[in-house]
Amino acid sequence: MDYPARRFGLRFWLVTLAALVGIAVTASLGRWQLSRAAEKEALQAAIDSQGQLPALDAPAMLGAADPQALLHRPVRLRGLWLAERTVFLDNRQMRGQPGFYVLTPLALENSSTVVMVQRGWVQRNFVDRTALPKIPTPAGLVDIAGLVVPAPSRLYEFAGEDKGTIRQNLDLGAFAQETGLPLWQQSVQQTGEDGAGLLREWPVPKTGVEKHYGYAFQWFGLCALLTGLYVWFQFVRRPAVRRFARHG
């Protein structure tokens, strides 16, 4: 007689324990990725809703208690370009081509505050890296429309490459100390039609929610695989092998 104690021995319970742990871990990781996806969707919805709000003027923008809360909010500003402080950020792409992001400080009208404006993108000189394109910059008061954004994302840089007109990255706080300009905490990404030889097809801010759904699918798929393998080897194939050995 084949007693349960013999059918379900130590090996069976060790395999069962390992399978349950694996199933629990992978299912938990899948649920965690879904929760991260939900958070990212909420963040993306907040970004989208910010972009639909009415544009702020300079006094309203500067009067905000938390500049961070204004990210992706439209603004309309009036001021003077400080062309001599223009910075070209290297190795930035647009339309699949490498070039420069052109950033120029804007001294706001009726204010002592200066805002760093990401004016657009221009293609670089592939023969001479130090040859800068000529960007027309009006000398009088200008009106611009844009979005409140952080400084451009940082790229890998070698030591000593954060000075001069051509730079790899720009830290607003460090630039303010370097130049003595009273820079606002955030920057503004100029929008509207291309102009002055600059393209403004800025990348749309994405939170990467698709990545989390992909990871969740992988974890749940692994969970299902572990479950299927456990059932197959412990309850389907194993009894069949035992029956074959008994009657073989």
Summarize pLDDT for 66-98 with one digit per residue, the tens.
Answer: 999 999 999 999 999 999 999 999 999 898 888
pLDDT the model gives residue 1: 44
- Co-location of 105 and 142 in the same domain: yes
User: Has residue 61 been placed in a domain?
Assistant: no
User: Has residue 39 been placed in a domain?
Assistant: yes
- Whether pLDDT at 156 is above 90: no
- Co-location of 79 and 154 in the same domain: yes
- Co-location of 180 and 81 in the same domain: yes
What predicted TM-score, i.e. pTM, was given to this entire model?
0.74
- Co-location of 225 and 154 in the same domain: no
pLDDT band at 119 (very low <50, low <70, confident <90, very high): very high
- Co-location of 83 and 173 in the same domain: yes
- Co-location of 81 and 179 in the same domain: yes
Residue 111 near residue 183, CB atoms below 8 Å: no
- Co-location of 80 and 182 in the same domain: yes
Q: Which of 28-37, 43-52, 227-236 has the highest mean pLDDT?
A: 28-37
* Over residues 195-212, mean pLDDT: 85
pLDDT the model gives residue 61: 96
Number of domains observed in the structure of the chain = 2
Find tokens 């994405």 and name the residue: 206
Q: Which residues pair with 187 in a beta bridge?
A: 116, 149
- Co-location of 79 and 120 in the same domain: yes
- Co-location of 10 and 100 in the same domain: no
Least confident of 13-22, 36-45, 151-160, 172-181: 151-160
User: Has residue 65 been placed in a domain?
Assistant: no
Average pLDDT, the chain: 87
User: Has residue 218 been placed in a domain?
Assistant: yes
* Measured CA distances, 149 to 28, 31, 61, 247 (Å): 35, 32, 12, 75
Residue numbers of the domain that contains 161: 73-190
User: Has residue 167 been placed in a domain?
Assistant: yes
- Co-location of 167 and 227 in the same domain: no
pLDDT band at 203 (very low <50, low <70, confident <90, very high): confident
- Co-location of 176 and 236 in the same domain: no
- Whether pLDDT at 148 is above 90: yes
- Co-location of 176 and 95 in the same domain: yes
